[in-house]
Amino acid sequence: MTYIDSHAHLSSSEVLPLITPFIERSLAACVTHVLNICTDPNTLEAGLDLTSRYSFIQNAGATPPHDVEKEGKEAFCIFEKAARDKKLCAIGETGLDYYYHGSAKDLQKQYLVKYLHLAAETQMPVIFHCREAFKDLFEIVDLEYPKQAQAVLHCFTGDLNEAEEVLRRGWYLSLSGIVTFKKSEYLREVAKMVPLSQLLIETDTPYLAPQSQRGKMNEPSFLPEVARCIASVKGIEVEEVARATAENARCLFF
């Protein structure tokens, strides 16, 4: 039984100094592949170096929506070149975030469209970040991104209706350690409903450690707890969750 962490920030400044023990513990926990999410030029450079050292780490890249006002213009050119040079396997995380107020909504929308077009042109999947902005996200993507093109709603925290809209478009829905939190019953209802064929699991390292590890820095080795929680609410064996989510991630990213 193996797992794939479909979203982790291994090249972030918090994690990079700890990368060797993180990887050792990940492999011991049967987490055999990790998609590293690069959010700026520095994390991209470090992420590409990680891939050169560890073949089981691949990279995605984009400026997250709450940062586009600060560094979107310069970073887009760098991510665009990396994508066209086939140094990335996905575009993201990009999207809309109306919870934080780091960037104006109109600017977030502009960069979302730019990254959608880049993903379509390079034929890469898109990884969406969305908080309190599902209506606008769906409307923009429906207009600007080819139907049936691949996409992932990462660290999903929406409701059942929003989950159904994700699935109706044929996208993947990724669940993180939040699904294990005591107050996340609504998210466990989503987990129960999502078909295994459209499910991914992630840690979002170093954020959102699962319930048994609350207060610690998250890491890929904690991923099995997410899988066990999902298996429990679905009433299936954890091996089924591990197998399906790993196959989905492998097809998308590896």
pLDDT in tens, 113-171: 999 999 999 999 999 999 999 999 999 999 999 999 999 999 999 999 999 999 999 99
pLDDT in tens, 52-89: 999 999 999 999 999 999 998 999 999 999 999 999 99
| DSSP character string of the chain | --EEEEEE-TTSTTTGGGHHHHHHHHHHTTEEEEEEEE-SHHHHHHHHHHHHH-TTEEEEE---GGGHHHHHHHHHHHHHHHHHTT--SEEEEEEEESSS-SS-HHHHHHHHHHHHHHHHHHT--EEEEEES-HHHHHHHHHHHS-TT--EEETT----HHHHHHHHHTT-EEEE-GGGGSTT-HHHHHHHHHS-GGGEEE---BTS---GGGTTSPP-GGGHHHHHHHHHHHHTS-HHHHHHHHHHHHHHHH-
pLDDT in tens, 194-224: 999 999 999 999 999 999 999 999 999 999 9
Each domain of the chain, given as residue ranges in start order, spans 59-177+187-205
**pLDDT at 187 > cutoff 90:** yes
Q: Which CATH number fits domain 59-177+187-205: 3.20.20.140, 3.40.50.300, 1.20.120.1690, 3.40.50.10090?
A: 3.20.20.140
